[in-house]
Chain A
Amino acid sequence: MDLHLPLVVATPTLLCLLAAGAALLWPRRSVLWPFLLPAWGLDLCFLGLLQSRAELAGPVLVWFRIDLLGLVWTALAGPVVAVVLWRRRAASAVVVLRERPWRLALLHALVVAFGLVPVPLLLAAVPLLGIGPFRWRFAPVLFAAALLAAGVAWPFPGFADVVGALGAVLFTAACTPRTVGRWPASSLALAWAAFCLWRAVLAG
């Protein structure tokens, strides 16, 4: 039996795990992005598919036992992770992640495998709370941009894509400046937002 659909759904997680493997082989942060960017992109697509393309939702739900309760659970996991990071002095955790890129990739794998987009969405709220080194002055600007995008795309049926865009922007804002610099991070965030918005318009 050829399990193509389960493999497609598992692809984001596999990409993150491969990123961890590549980072062990070649311990540079730059090796992560060719894996993590498509992982996020596919992950966002799946969120859109889950909500707006019921045809695909059936097999996904069957194979991965992802249901509404699971999504709520993963959404609740976000604040828990945030609190843990805060209590353990997030600064040192971030330093470890920066110095060991494969751990960052594994963290992404966990996020992608269990949280889809809601977890990064909630994780990304951390900089807005101004906790430790996660603070980044561009985050509120991007957040506002994402809100604007959401407002523009709201009437379209692909609303889930807009949620995905918001998650992408905030997640990128939270994670990337520490590893690739502000301008690449800003470009990536806006590119993801544009991509998801485009899909939302197409879905309409």
Chain B
Amino acid sequence: MTVLRAIGATVRCAAASLLIGAAWLFLVVPGFGFVRGSRPRPDLSPAPRLQPDSRIQRVGAIWHCHLAGSARDRGYACGRLTAPMMEAHEGELFATLRELVPWFLVRHAILGLVNLNNRNLDSYFLPDELEAVAGIARGYQDAGDPNANVAPAYGRILGYHALHDTSQYLIDNPLITAPMVGCSAVAVGPLRSADGHVLVGRLFDFEGGRSFDFDKVVYTVAPAEEGPQRRLRHVHVAWGGMHGAVTGANEAGLWISVNAGVSDHFAYGGRPLVVAVLRALETCASIDEAVAQLAAQPVFVSESVLLATGKAAAGAPSAVCLELAPGHHHVRVLEDDRIVVTNHFEHPGWNDDVANANRRREGTTTARNRRLHELLDAVPRHTPTSIATMLRDRADTGGGDLGFGNRAAVNAWIGAHLVVADLTAGVLWVAEPRHGLGTMRAFDVHGPRPDLGEIGPSVDRELYDAVGATWSERLSAARRAVATRAVDAAARCRALIEANPRHYEPYALLAVVTADRAEAVDLLQKALERRPAYAAERRELEARLATSTGSKR
């Protein structure tokens, strides 16, 4: 009886301890995180107003939003005019989070920790930037904020401005199956373009949700003079509720776009790069000015920033890549009048960087980089159309057929926007959905420029509409079916092979569920022949093949 009582007491003690641990993990820590992450909204009196010049309109299948006035007025207009897009983006972001983290309490813990981490985020914004974000929150609330139950609008929208940065430090987190990065960008100088202009293009991959592609917003911004600093008109491509830029150009002919990078240098808090980039577009007229300004920013993740100009001084490079990490940076200038930027750093100064070397070895960045160099060199003189074609490419190095949806391809059909610019002429062409395959519409810093013509849709557009549009969902469903050994798993895999016979993954999935050992070996060999996107996938397939071959013998 004494022993039983002792066991009972131990079990009760253990249960109470578990309860304490769970309460701290899922309630206490997130609770303090949410509380510390909330902050008073800046005073917006007198109340911001919708400037008559601010407007939103449809240009083809793209939203164009023109913002004018002070930072707070522009923010308010952005919140009011793009509220439906913001609602769609938020809905999809939460849906993505629910898919990645299906358990509510775990999501609660993650969001609490993110809030805790972002508790000082506002200290990295300048006062007029905070007013702009507060204006966005006010405009969104005035339009009916549907997500007030998640967190207060101001803190939420402030946090979204760091999403590009925080999502990067989740990429290598073993607890979260985060989407892989895949942005690609190129620039060519006058010697490599048909009419001697500086051309640049970028494909922005972001898998936060389809609405970031379908409801992308081209902002043209006419900032009012505030203080002694000059304010330049600019155009940038982003999404609803954004006071930051990932791809844009200004009236001085300066282009800035960002690609995620990685390095050994890392910080848990800092200035969101998208906000710093918008600042540079608004205030910098040259590459040197922008490099100096951006390199001085206390960023908290590593990024490759492509800067190009159509008005370079004699002897100065027309494009550079600022490889920026917390507390460190190197500048890589274009070679042979061309530059390629994917998701790793190339300056020799990073040679000893372990994280960057690991990204080059394990990720898709090296394959995309090689392919872009091939494509750049294949055409002696580029045009905006050839740049767009390059960024729509889905072939392997050497032109091998990868099917579609392979993340080792330049365009894996996950992009949120594709933009090509002629910086000398001051024109940007922005692709309509989907994933850069649609017709590209012309814009300059003042607004749409239909008179400058358009770049036609990709030759893949029909293939995408026929089978590509549902590919991701079908592949995800097949993965789930294989993982649960569902009765229709094999049929799903065979249907995927029929739809996309050059993609490796359906073969690898079918090999898991097939009962025939010989067929499994054959399928694994076919999967390996079709170029798995990641080195880790290749190693796994090789190990499975070795095991299957051994057991077959």
Contact = CB atoms under 8 A, between A and B. Distances in A.
Contacts of B504: none
A9 B23 CA distance: 14
**By DSSP majority rule, is chain B's interface helix, strand, loop, or mixed?**
helix
B151 A53 contact: no
Contact of A26 (B15, B30, B107, B149): B15
B221 to A, nearest CB: 26
Contacts of B149: 1-6, 59, 63
Nearest to A33: B20
B230 interface: no
A55 B155 contact: yes
A25 B148 contact: no
Contacts of B40: 52-55
Interface stretch (B31-39, B52-60, B240-248, B424-432): B31-39
Contacts of B20: 22, 31, 34-35
B19 A18 contact: yes
A34 B24 contact: yes
B148 A2 contact: no
Contacts of A4: 34, 107-108, 111, 149-151
The size class of the interface chain B forms with chain A is: 20 to 34
Contact of B148 (A18, A46, A58): A58
A59 B16 contact: no
A8 B116 CA distance: 13
A26 B152 contact: no
Contacts of A1: 149
A2 B34 CA distance: 14
A15 B154 contact: no
A38 interface: yes
B268 interface: no
Contacts of B153: 55
A106 to B, nearest CB: 15
Interface string B137-158: 0000000000011111111000
B16 A26 contact: yes
A14 interface: yes
Interface string B427-466: 0000000000000000000000000000000000000000
Contacts of A54: 40-41
Contacts of B32: 38, 41-42, 45
Contacts of B31: 8, 11, 38, 42
Nearest to A4: B150
A57 to B, nearest CB: 9
A21 interface: yes
B35 A49 contact: yes
Contacts of B27: 7, 11, 14-15, 18
A185 B203 CA distance: 61
A25 B19 contact: yes
A86 to B, nearest CB: 33
B12 A59 contact: no
Nearest to B23: A18
Contacts of B150: 2, 4-5
B266 interface: no
A56 interface: yes
A31 B16 contact: yes
A5 B34 contact: yes
Contacts of B35: 8, 42, 45-46, 49
B292 interface: no
Contact of B19 (A22, A53, A55): A22
A11 B28 contact: yes
Interface in A23-80: 25-26, 31, 34-35, 38, 41-42, 45-46, 49, 52-56, 58-59, 62-63
Contacts of A25: 12-13, 15-16, 19
A51 to B, nearest CB: 11
B38 A55 contact: yes
A202 to B, nearest CB: 10
Nearest to A26: B16
Contacts of B41: 54-55
A26 B34 CA distance: 30
B148 A59 contact: yes
A204 to B, nearest CB: 12
B534 interface: no
Interface of B: 12-13, 15-16, 19-20, 23-24, 27-28, 30-32, 34-35, 38-41, 94, 98, 104, 107-108, 111-112, 148-155
Given A53-B38, A55-B154, 4 more contacts: A2-B108, A8-B35, A41-B32, A55-B39
Interface of A: 1-8, 11, 14-15, 18, 21-22, 25-26, 31, 34-35, 38, 41-42, 45-46, 49, 52-56, 58-59, 62-63
17 contacts: A4-B34, A8-B30, A11-B27, A11-B31, A15-B27, A18-B23, A21-B19, A22-B19, A25-B12, A25-B13, A26-B15, A26-B16, A41-B32, A45-B35, A52-B40, A54-B41, A55-B39
Interchain residue pairs A-B with the least CB separation, the first 3 = A26-B16, A55-B152, A11-B31
